[in-house]
Amino acid sequence: MVQEARIAAGPGMIVICSSSDPRQLRALLATLDSSSFRGVISFGVAGGLDPSLRSGDVVVATEVLAGDTRFLAGLALNEEMIAKAALRRRRVVRGGLAGVEQVVAARACKAALRSETGAAAVDMESHVAAAYAAAAGLPFAALRVISDPAGRALPELAKTALKPNGDIDLRKILRGIVRNPTTLRALVSTGIDFNRALRSLRGCRGFLLGGERLVTADI
């Protein structure tokens, strides 16, 4: 989303905002000259698969799993920065990310993906970024903050309310609430989780310091 891209933006960064659309991300990455940067980082929010993780918890990827494909995370994130994040009462864990082409919203689907992959979290961009990095021969890393935990289903309206540019379509959300007022409570809970994740993500901005990199942000 736009909010995540703004957090990632800064000197030495090339920021790509894919609006949770893997095909759009692939198309955007294809326009870049991979010789103009020295690494790829997937940076943004994710859905929780590990039931022990809560919104705002930070996952530093050890690998990204997409179907039968496995990408190891090889670009070292600064251990000192990770330690500082933990000291600020952010929970930082290392674990796998599951890469998917469609939103995984239901609790049962999250549980099934967790059982299948053992991943800590799921997103729709990290596997695309990892594949691009592998093809270009570039180091890759991923840092994702949990937005919707494993125990919370993502409302259908929240899944479809993103514009192609990454902005939230407020009119669509309001129309959906008018048609089905019972969705309001779930949307409020989702919004609280998302805002908590964004605050945590801002605190992780320091992980991106120290060099010219490509950041995929959606995210």
Domain ranges (residues) in the chain: 2-154+196-217
Structural contact between residues 186 and 193, judged by C-beta atoms closer than 8 angstroms = no
pTM, full prediction: 0.81
Classify strands 13-17 and 140-148 as parallel, antiparallel or unpaired: unpaired
User: How far is residue 114's CA from residue 128's CA, in Å, rounded to a whole number?
Assistant: 20
Looking at domain 2-154+196-217, its CATH architecture is 3-Layer(aba) Sandwich (3.40)
- Output the tens digit of pLDDT for each of the chain's 219 residues: 567 777 777 777 788 887 778 998 999 999 988 888 888 889 999 999 999 999 999 999 999 999 999 999 876 666 666 666 665 667 889 999 999 999 898 999 999 999 999 999 999 999 999 999 999 999 898 999 999 999 988 776 665 665 555 566 567 666 666 677 777 777 778 888 888 999 898 888 777 755 444 555 444
